[in-house]
Structure 1
Amino acid sequence: MVIALIRHGQTDWNRELRMQGRTDIPLNRTGREQARTAAAALAAGGWDLVVSSPLGRARETAGILADELGIELGGTFEGLIEQEFGDAEGVPVAEIRERWPARDIPGMEPDADVARRGVAVLTAIAEQHPGRRVLAVAHGTLIRRTLAALSGHDPEHYPRLDNLSSSEVRPGSASGDEAAWFVHTVGGVAFDELVIDLDARAAGTPVELAG
């Protein structure tokens, strides 16, 4: 069983750096092309089906991937939906940091709740599609908080995930607990490589970025 968490394609609000949350903004032309390009890169992965968040930008991305890969388009999972950002939705990200520096945004879904449902939906997908290789199209914040919950790191230390980036999770853990999940890749980078930077950020050590 492998689940690849795929961030949806670009929307106009992505391009304008506005917070989307659960506002149902559609893909733009670039987002659709990103999905077609990503399908070519995913073609060798032996994927069985695509599921998604119910939001339109995720569902359309999933449909393009399914069509391009010639695989089943499965259902939607509420657990894959993006975090609710309340009054911040539609607001430029830079302005959000100024208006709510403590992240006390009215109407925002608690961060801990996002992480819990993100982890829970992995089990729900596995129960509906046991043993299959599943592409699950979701949203940047949901994916980042889910991966952080699985690895035990601060989600703010995780890198930003690009549109159509793929992050793989697999069942089981180093302790042999098959009910758990572990992070295999993040945005296409092996977790064993990324964890060095995550641990450095947690320790407050400056991370050297490649040029």
Structure 2
Amino acid sequence: MTLLTLVRHGQTDWNLARRIQGTTDIPLNETGRDDARRAAAALADERYDAIYASPLVRAQQTAEIIADELGLGSPALTRGLRERTFGEGEGMLVEDYLKTWSDWTSAVPGAETLEEVRERALDSLERIVRASRRRSAPRAESIIVVSHGGVIRSLLMHVSGGSLPRVGDSLHNGSVHRFVAEPGTLRLLETIPV
């Protein structure tokens, strides 16, 4: 068993403006750095063995702040944890995106589907878990993974059979979701208030 704690990156200026970032590389703003520190404080009572992050700068910066606050080594970067590619929707204001394509599951030219995001994220998490088992067998490891709203949303939908997140639920910057990974299985344990 491996405990995976997924954290959404802190706020960026594009989050604040409600602009779709996708794989556009936008850094944290000051509120985003505070989000990362709050996430670290919420995680401080547990032991963690490693930290991983998406290679996008907002996730890297969040992971570096958390690692520093918790005394962990530098985050390992994992490409499969990057945000969903939004194709022609990238850079648009959310309001304009929804006017153009009506919802988040529409076929946007050049965009990844939520299923594609889920599959690459699950593949990355499985590689992280395999590496954890090699390092720690037979002891269970606890790992922090800093990623993005689209990735975490796709994983929540996967483990809940589509019932989570509920319609209208938003995954806040710095939000924390704890999963248990066992061979062939990923399940949600809890969402930790931040």
Looking at structure 1, the residues matched to 165 and 112 of structure 2 have their Cα atoms a distance apart, in angstroms, of 17
Q: CA RMSD in A?
A: 1.6
| Residue 130 of structure 2: aligned partner | 127
Looking at structure 2, the residues matched to 145 and 125 of structure 1 have their Cα atoms a distance apart, in angstroms, of 18
| Residue 206 of structure 1: aligned partner | none
| Residue 121 of structure 2: aligned partner | 118
Looking at structure 2, the residues matched to 181 and 38 of structure 1 have their Cα atoms a distance apart, in angstroms, of 22
The SS at the match of 2:48 is coil
The SS at the match of 1:45 is coil
- Scaled by the length of structure 2, the TM-score of the pair is 0.88
Looking at structure 1, the residues matched to 75 and 62 of structure 2 have their Cα atoms a distance apart, in angstroms, of 13
| Residue 136 of structure 2: aligned partner | none
- Alignment check: 8 A CA contact 1:86 1:107 kept: yes
The SS at the match of 1:153 is coil
**5+ long unaligned stretches in structure 2:** 134-139
Distance 1:157 1:98, change over 3 A: same
- Alignment check: 8 A CA contact 1:35 1:65 kept: yes
Larger Rg: 1
The SS at the match of 1:157 is coil
Matched, 1:83 2:84: yes
Looking at structure 2, the residues matched to 14 and 105 of structure 1 have their Cα atoms a distance apart, in angstroms, of 20
**5+ long unaligned stretches in structure 1:** 173-177, 190-211
| Residue 179 of structure 2: aligned partner | 169
- Scaled by the length of structure 1, the TM-score of the pair is 0.81
Moved more, 139-148 or 30-39: 30-39
Matched, 1:69 2:70: yes
| Shift >2 Å, 4+ stretches | 154-159
Matched, 1:54 2:55: yes
What does residue range 118-157 of structure 1 map to in structure 2 within 5 Å? 118-130=121-133, 131-153=140-162, 157=166
Deviation of 1:123 (Å): 0.9
Distance 1:43 1:72, change over 3 A: same
| Residue 34 of structure 1: aligned partner | 35
Which has the higher relative contact order, 1 or 2, with Cα contacts under 8 A spaced 6 or more apart?
Answer: 2
CA deviation vs aligned residue, 1:25-63 (integer Å, no higher than 9, x gap): 000011112111221221102122211000000001100
- Alignment check: 8 A CA contact 1:51 1:62 kept: yes
Length, aligned pairs only: 183
| Residue 182 of structure 1: aligned partner | 187
Looking at structure 2, the residues matched to 91 and 154 of structure 1 have their Cα atoms a distance apart, in angstroms, of 28
Identity of aligned residues (%): 38
The SS at the match of 2:59 is helix
